[in-house]
Chains A and B, each alone.
Chain A
């Protein structure tokens, strides 16, 4: 295959005219490697190049929590539980089915037959228990939030701290039947297993490449040999090579138990600048990239590129810090809520597919309250409430927003800020703009102290778990919100401790209503993150929780 772009470059080099280049040009034309024409692809170029925003932090998903690590591990690994296509709901994957015991503590998994790891090891009940026991036995540095973030936050304790542990034991009942027993109820257990952090890894490879040797000193944890270059899972793609800072290559695993699909080779290229990603797509150097800014999305779509939006699993909100005296008054907070026309904000600044929010969880999450009390847009009522609260002429408040950042829930903070501050000024609230670089200046200002007022922040859910939204926002006293509402903290703790999923729903519905009346902030929107692809990409399996495996990509010739 020869690509027109390359030829044009060669011509350019000729025009440039140095003798060395002229000599090389002949070679470029004649020696160029033909990419391996692959499998079912036929005349389709089966190499798929995707621009990542950074290197993965680790190739061992148990020690990762960042999106780029998970994007790669979703190709290599699979968990017992997957996600139903296009939703956030758990679905069978390596486990065909499961049953929960009557006491709610034991889960028996019937495993998929005929699955092998990329190193030839059989996937069976022994492998399942090896993985659970591995996580439970992490020690020292491995337990830190910078390493086993998800295990620490969801399963709490380890073998050396069994009093807090959620996990108890794993038993091999049969070759393909494993039973996991928990020490305390965990309603979100099955959902949580869909996280890449709990994917099944080859016990043989984990052992051979010392996956648990989190080396270095206490102060400087280093990654294991496994996490640096020997990840072995059951997924449709196996690891080939990783040139840090440049690219990571995967190839199709010939013995994959599921549908292999068209893509035979994946190359993740690291391009950290969003503009550079767009330009690489336009120049034909990559096939796709994530987190397209709304302005770029419409321009690219006009030029014939494929834009795919994920169903929103996000929340963008305007936070209010109650350490600011004016914001302590619930009437002021309600007035701010009523001063904002969310429909206008969404249509003017946020990407297509974005939904207007009236609570702090997206509609697909359990406990979404359809009958919530709404403070609809009403600038006159807002002015009246402000006057009632003793601010007939309004007041001045700090408005913090981050710059030069694009989060899945906040693709363009500057524009959102401009839109909102104009709306607030309408009702007499004067905004004192306080921009900061996102990382870590802005984050530190919001989370590390009280020096902030109104601010933009949000969250993208990891998996279908209500506590993953409401609990992290309002579960305890925090610098961000600056309030102390024991009732709310207690209600959230009670809902979290409820072992039965069905019984949890009404509790969370009630909490959503409680939050709406308390108005700690304004839930603004559920933005839909979008991806852009070259013309040859026919379809891409978007997932609200980013469970996107590239064997489902369809390419045209």
Chain B
């Protein structure tokens, strides 16, 4: 098992080198540059030139890339042009927010998606099945930003049930130290702060979790349907084994393999969804910062953040692969 993990991690190296080159070229191919964004509508060509020289953007591309890679190898991801803070620090500051939101979203998707998919399969062809199919179709076709906007308009602005944006009411005196504000509230005993931070997660979390939810419902339903028709389930039933045991031991466990793969893949989508959701809800995470970095052409932030996200995505999928062996012992043997 360790060898497999080691091999996968080694494979990550060429992937990341290739990605860093693509990213490097992509951000420089965008029209305009950080100097134009920084100086606004009254930028003189001389001022643009001076700023480009200051950041080294006037040098040949290959030279810039060599400098960039050299720094990268020593763990130096550069400094944000917008904020003047190191890119790694900016990421570390915002990542917990996105992780907190993504965790909520994925829990929402799994906790509702798996049971709903199971029920739909169990009651194949009946109302609950049709309902879940229609719902999951809707979940897939509605764009994230639109859903985010509608949820916010309805439940925050019109009804006032949930806060419209941010991570916490700024009037609450809360101590933050882990970056996970709900967790912070529990650790410090400031339960009001934890509750408030949790309420701030609900709408963006639902907006972000809806597409994964829809996909999980569909995959679970299909997979459970498949397993329900299997010989060993029929055999188990004929032996008179308890229905709940059949569900947990025979059906769900076998049906979970494709679902777990799907969840792993969804995590990558969550990050791109977070860019939109966090912007709508002014949720100060990685996604929101990335969106503003695109408009300000903050090259170091774009390169660094996307690279970090790629590493995270690869690691999560590695974890998913490893988890197969726990769900299905046959994978371990292979």
A443 partner residues in chain B, CB cutoff 8 A:
32, 36-37, 40-41, 43
Give Cα A125–Cα B194 distance, bound, in whole angstroms.
50
Min Cβ gap B73→A in Å is: 16
Within 8 A of B (CB), among A86-120: none
Given contacts A9-B160, A24-B194, contact A33 B172 (CB under 8 A): yes
Contact of B31 among A146, A407, A445 (CB under 8 A): A445
Do most interface residues of chain A lie in helix, strand or loop, or is the interface mixed?
mixed
Given contacts A8-B160, A9-B161, A282-B157, contact A221 B202 (CB under 8 A): no
A144 partner residues in chain B, CB cutoff 8 A:
50-51, 54
Q: CB distance A439 to B166 under 8 Å?
A: no
B281 partner residues in chain A, CB cutoff 8 A:
276
Within 8 A of A (CB), among B83-102: 83-86, 90, 93-94
Interface residue B296 (Cβ < 8 Å from any Cβ of A): yes
Q: CB distance A13 to B199 under 8 Å?
A: yes
B34 partner residues in chain A, CB cutoff 8 A:
440
Interface residue A85 (Cβ < 8 Å from any Cβ of B): no
Interface residue B42 (Cβ < 8 Å from any Cβ of A): yes
Q: CB distance B31 to A441 under 8 Å?
A: yes
Min Cβ gap A493→B in Å is: 15
Given contacts A24-B191, A221-B79, contact A447 B160 (CB under 8 A): no
- Closest B residue, CB atoms, query A246: B284
Min Cβ gap B248→A in Å is: 22
Give Cα A246–Cα B93 distance, bound, in whole angstroms.
11
Q: CB distance B152 to A220 under 8 Å?
A: no
Interface residue B198 (Cβ < 8 Å from any Cβ of A): yes
Interface residue A376 (Cβ < 8 Å from any Cβ of B): no
A227 partner residues in chain B, CB cutoff 8 A:
84
Chain A 264-281 interface 0/1 with B at a Cβ cutoff of 8 Å (1 = within): 000101111101100110
A246 partner residues in chain B, CB cutoff 8 A:
166-168, 170, 284
A458 partner residues in chain B, CB cutoff 8 A:
41
Tally of chain A residues near chain B (CB < 8 A): 78
Q: CB distance B79 to A222 under 8 Å?
A: yes
Interface residue A138 (Cβ < 8 Å from any Cβ of B): no
B176 partner residues in chain A, CB cutoff 8 A:
243
Interface residue B5 (Cβ < 8 Å from any Cβ of A): no
A222 partner residues in chain B, CB cutoff 8 A:
79, 84-86
Interface residue B280 (Cβ < 8 Å from any Cβ of A): yes
Interface residue B268 (Cβ < 8 Å from any Cβ of A): no
Chain B 277-300 interface 0/1 with A at a Cβ cutoff of 8 Å (1 = within): 001111010001100100111001
Chain B 22-46 interface 0/1 with A at a Cβ cutoff of 8 Å (1 = within): 0000000001111011111111110
Q: CB distance A21 to B198 under 8 Å?
A: yes
Within 8 A of A (CB), among B35-66: 36-45, 47-48, 50-51, 54-56
Q: CB distance A273 to B161 under 8 Å?
A: no
Q: CB distance B31 to A269 under 8 Å?
A: no
Min Cβ gap A246→B in Å is: 5
Interface residue A192 (Cβ < 8 Å from any Cβ of B): no
A204 partner residues in chain B, CB cutoff 8 A:
none
Q: CB distance A57 to B83 under 8 Å?
A: yes
Interface residue A181 (Cβ < 8 Å from any Cβ of B): no
Q: CB distance A21 to B195 under 8 Å?
A: yes
A440 partner residues in chain B, CB cutoff 8 A:
31-34, 36-37, 295-297
Interface residue A290 (Cβ < 8 Å from any Cβ of B): no
Give Cα A25–Cα B198 distance, bound, in whole angstroms.
11
Given contacts A245-B284, A247-B170, contact A272 B163 (CB under 8 A): no
Segment of A47-55, A154-162, A504-512 engaged in the interface with chain B: A47-55
Q: CB distance A54 to B292 under 8 Å?
A: yes
Within 8 A of B (CB), among A207-222: 216, 218-222
Interface residue B115 (Cβ < 8 Å from any Cβ of A): no
Q: CB distance A31 to B40 under 8 Å?
A: no
Min Cβ gap A247→B in Å is: 5
Interface residue A223 (Cβ < 8 Å from any Cβ of B): yes
Q: CB distance A285 to B166 under 8 Å?
A: yes
Interface residue A11 (Cβ < 8 Å from any Cβ of B): yes
B169 partner residues in chain A, CB cutoff 8 A:
6, 285
Interface residue B162 (Cβ < 8 Å from any Cβ of A): yes
A279 partner residues in chain B, CB cutoff 8 A:
152-153, 156-157, 164-165
B321 partner residues in chain A, CB cutoff 8 A:
none
A5 partner residues in chain B, CB cutoff 8 A:
160, 163
- Closest B residue, CB atoms, query A35: B171
Q: CB distance B170 to A221 under 8 Å?
A: no
Give Cα A440–Cα B81 distance, bound, in whole angstroms.
14
Contact of B170 among A27, A269, A472 (CB under 8 A): A269
Give Cα A275–Cα B164 distance, bound, in whole angstroms.
11
- Closest A residue, CB atoms, query B174: A33
Min Cβ gap B55→A in Å is: 5
- Closest A residue, CB atoms, query B155: A12
Interface residue A141 (Cβ < 8 Å from any Cβ of B): yes
Min Cβ gap A327→B in Å is: 20
Q: CB distance B51 to A146 under 8 Å?
A: yes
Within 8 A of B (CB), among A240-297: 243-247, 249, 267, 269-273, 275-276, 279-280, 282-285
Give Cα A35–Cα B194 distance, bound, in whole angstroms.
18
Q: CB distance A439 to B37 under 8 Å?
A: yes
Min Cβ gap A215→B in Å is: 9
Min Cβ gap B52→A in Å is: 11
Give Cα A438–Cα B171 distance, bound, in whole angstroms.
34
B42 partner residues in chain A, CB cutoff 8 A:
459, 472
Given contacts A9-B160, A12-B159, A145-B50, contact A32 B192 (CB under 8 A): yes
Interface residue A28 (Cβ < 8 Å from any Cβ of B): yes
Q: CB distance A273 to B56 under 8 Å?
A: no
Contact of B162 among A9, A244, A447 (CB under 8 A): A9
Give Cα A173–Cα B292 distance, bound, in whole angstroms.
49
Min Cβ gap B226→A in Å is: 31
Contact of B192 among A9, A33, A441 (CB under 8 A): A33
Can you list 5 A-B pairs with a CB-CB distance of less than 8 A?
A24-B198, A245-B94, A280-B164, A285-B164, A445-B32
Instruction: Contacts A223-B85, A227-B84, A246-B170 known; list 16 others, CB within 8 Å.
Output: A13-B198, A27-B191, A27-B195, A218-B54, A222-B86, A244-B85, A244-B90, A247-B170, A272-B288, A275-B149, A280-B164, A280-B165, A283-B156, A440-B37, A448-B45, A448-B48
The 8 closest A-B pairs by CB, nearest first: A440-B32, A12-B161, A444-B32, A245-B284, A27-B191, A220-B79, A24-B195, A440-B36
